[in-house]
Structure 1
């Protein structure tokens, strides 16, 4: 009986594959009676399973994809995983065609185990497929969360965390080793900023006197980075949905554990705050006043046209988590890499310090109002985004209908992956692409350096209908983080090493080892909190 059932299932899967392939062939051959282009070049797939064996054998998958494209000498490829056509792109011109000319067709997200789990069942703005729910949540973010008024409203919270960063590094510089774990400093700064604007607090437990993270904050940040890792992983059940629950590659357990950790810290705060606001609506008990104090208050107090709460409890919790993991990684990674590169090239560090001394001086700490005038600092950040991106790909775009892009047929349902390193390190676009050279972003035509890159020659903050909704917030966080670290301290490699190791991890895009550097205060002592 088992043998009979197995053969029957195999037969059904084979028939499904043949039907799918036949439909695709007809779509490729006929369009209004005319032949249309073929799929982009790619490896020959196995029947039914596609290139999944190679995906499982060649870990990490993103490096296999980039290696494959280099061997094939192509800027666009097609790799079939199950019945899904995965389309990686490393050319800015082709990327612009996807996200400008054909943006409407590629403005959805594919379903996946990690995105479903992390978005509370597709309740959020970034991970949710195109549709009514996505439109609702994106409208909430754009009009209520990251509007210019909100950004100005929360400026003091961001400044407080910039002060706390200086305090923490200063205290580390006075320790016995005088060294700073730059990765810890940058990641905790971005997490602190996000916790402050979301919850009006940087701590989940007792505050540390030196300004550093406690075990709770470290656990929280580690869980957020685990979520991000598996949101961009290639999980086998994403291409064979009937395997969900079997957890063949172990991703499901790790994602659920990370979400559980984040909820352990978020949910008590959210539940308590919602309880206070709901009671305030039916009694004389006030939370503290009838005005929101942070972004959580904003999400809770939004009303629909009938005066009822716009967002459900589940939507609030899911969106809070999404804002958290969307905010903390990109600026922290860029600044860790930038500072490491600048330490290894002291003349570059001196140029940045000279700009800060000229624009800001040494009698006050750099502020957000100084950002427009810090072109060299921003050029260093741009170069870090270009050469050392946070992830191998941007969040996946899914084709909602057939399209022809760059002369190739892109079938409905395809997963389009814009390659961050492929775009930023493309030798046809950049001279000496593997060199860290901030000066390449300082041109006579550019009066003010911007961190955004609309031409997609690299990706700092994505573009199109599914673009990053808060590039100004990301810019402020990135530039303030790098500027405060460079202004406040002289940096060099620790005493026992000659330079910072700039090797990239095989498993991800981070430095292979956390950057550890020697810091020495360079401003008057009264400026250190």
Structure 2
């Protein structure tokens, strides 16, 4: 009997798996559309094209677009997926058909990380999403709100420059990602909570930085369970287990922030912060009541996306300039003429620094923070470029491929800010209207923090370049520009550099 039971269990397991495989295969054959779908690879039974995506899906999909065209269609598990890889095809989906592609598909990241889609990024398109976005724009991300907290950016950049100046005096290598996350998390903390969330760059900050990177990485994975729901319970890649553990860490952190904020509510402030406004009006906001989960999820969006996407763009730009000293020198020359040597760069200087702005655009082009635009899903069947796109098709726009398309950009693999200094490229704006350059996406679901991202990248990158000379640490002969795929495009090897001050010592005080 002891021998028979394991044998029976094994046979039952095999039979159950065969039953699932057969059902999926039959269903896919019966529901195969008779319309003309966009071209794409055939894939394999049950799993479809999932194995073809590999560990760098943005690169694999870019190669496929060269074979099959600007719009490709893949069967990925039980779902269809369309991929747009040119400015024209991106515009067709994100502008012409924007309304039809205004929702997100269900996925493990939204469920386990974003409080079951209670945030702004993954929320269903509708009144709740519009309210979250409106609040964020009014009190943090919009033009007026950004102007209101300009002094916060100045002070936090001051703290960062002071730390780096001290490191240079001690001959220490500067770890750029840690410095950037420290500054940006404290900026966001001051706007949301009226306080710096990290006073010192100790273990707690390093843990937060690692958590943010892990969130952006795991949320970008192509999770088998998202595409083959019958397999979701098995969590074959271990992704969902990791997400649940990570969510617990973030929930503890955000719950502690909320608790401390409520405990200090009796202290009079000159002006209410972002969280004050939400908590005071959570029951009366345009007929929508914001739950605690909504508020936590929104804070998670603002802290993670606000720190990681901008910091990765700045890191890539610095890496490219260190690799190309002529670009760094040209940026220094421009800043020395406009800003001089006796003060720090100010945000009001940026409109007079076209080469700095060109460097930022070039970094957005070659190293978009989100290589594959966050997925959307079609509410109804539609037609794009003469091809039929079925209802419930998942859409990815390959922003990385658009930025490296030789039909759009001359020598696209070269980091060359001069391409934005004259001609039609000089007028390109990364805010979502020019589809050759859409680092933040476009349409209704464009990144809510696009304005903030541009302001942070231009001001912080400009301050770092103006304040220091940059070079590789002793013994490091070549800059590593390898990528690590995720929701945000990370440098596989985090940037570390030696910095030399270019200004008087008094310019490095907060």
1:521 to 459, 479, 501: 501
Note the C-alpha offset of 1:488. 0.5
Partners in 1 of 2:370 and 2:464 — Cα distance? 24
Partners in 2 of 1:193 and 1:486 — Cα distance? 20
Task: Look up the SS of the partner of 1:79 in the other structure.
Answer: strand
1:25 to 3, 12, 33: 33
Note the C-alpha offset of 1:478. 0.5
Instruction: List per-residue Cα deviations over 1:271-318 (Å, max 9, x = no partner).
Output: 2324665xxxxxxxx3424841x2222222225448999422221111
Task: Look up the SS of the partner of 1:244 in the other structure.
Answer: helix
Note the C-alpha offset of 1:398. 0.8
Note the C-alpha offset of 1:13. 6.6
Say what the alpha-carbon RMSD is for the aligned residues: 2.7
Task: Look up the SS of the partner of 1:457 in the other structure.
Answer: coil
Instruction: Check 1:451–1:364 CA distance in 2 against 1; reply closer, same or farther (3 A cut).
Output: farther
Partners in 2 of 1:355 and 1:136 — Cα distance? 42
Listed as ranges, the matches of 1:191-230 within 5 Å are: 191-204=185-198, 207-208=199-200, 213-230=201-218
Instruction: Pick which of 463-472 and 73-82 moved more.
Output: 73-82
2:183 to 181, 189, 195: 189
Note the C-alpha offset of 1:162. 1.1
1:467 to 434, 446, 449: 446
Residue 489 (structure 1) aligned with residue 487 (structure 2): no
Note the C-alpha offset of 1:370. 2.0
Instruction: Check 1:335–1:221 CA distance in 2 against 1; reply closer, same or farther (3 A cut).
Output: same
Note the C-alpha offset of 1:99. 0.5
Instruction: List per-residue Cα deviations over 1:225-265 (Å, max 9, x = no partner).
Output: 21111211100110122433432101112212222222232
Instruction: Check 1:465–1:174 CA distance in 2 against 1; reply closer, same or farther (3 A cut).
Output: same
1:253 to 241, 251, 273: 241
1:104 to 99, 107, 118: 99
Partners in 2 of 1:309 and 1:101 — Cα distance? 30
Partners in 2 of 1:4 and 1:198 — Cα distance? 54
Partners in 1 of 2:485 and 2:139 — Cα distance? 40
Structure 2: unaligned runs, 5 residues or longer: 1-7
Partners in 1 of 2:287 and 2:102 — Cα distance? 30
1:69 to 54, 65, 77: 65
Note the C-alpha offset of 1:69. 3.5
Instruction: List per-residue Cα deviations over 1:401-433 (Å, max 9, x = no partner).
Output: 111112211111111111122010001100000
Instruction: List per-residue Cα deviations over 1:67-115 (Å, max 9, x = no partner).
Output: 4334x25222111112211222211100011011111111110000111
- Please tell me whether the aligned partners of residues 302 and 309 of structure 1 are also in contact (alpha carbons under 8 angstroms): no
In structure 2, the residue matched to 1:137 is 132
Partners in 2 of 1:67 and 1:525 — Cα distance? 50
Listed as ranges, the matches of 1:29-44 within 5 Å are: 38-44=36-42
Partners in 2 of 1:166 and 1:513 — Cα distance? 23
Note the C-alpha offset of 1:217. 1.1
Instruction: List per-residue Cα deviations over 1:459-503 (Å, max 9, x = no partner).
Output: 322210101223221111101111111111111222323442333
Partners in 2 of 1:47 and 1:502 — Cα distance? 36
Partners in 1 of 2:222 and 2:382 — Cα distance? 24
Listed as ranges, the matches of 1:335-374 within 5 Å are: 335-374=314-353
Residue 164 (structure 1) aligned with residue 159 (structure 2): yes
- Please tell me whether the aligned partners of residues 156 and 187 of structure 2 are also in contact (alpha carbons under 8 angstroms): yes
In structure 1, the residue matched to 2:219 is 231
Q: How many correspondences in the alignment?
A: 500
Listed as ranges, the matches of 1:72-83 within 5 Å are: 72-83=67-78
- Please tell me whether the aligned partners of residues 223 and 259 of structure 1 are also in contact (alpha carbons under 8 angstroms): no
**TM-score normalised to structure 1 length:** 0.87
Partners in 2 of 1:42 and 1:502 — Cα distance? 30
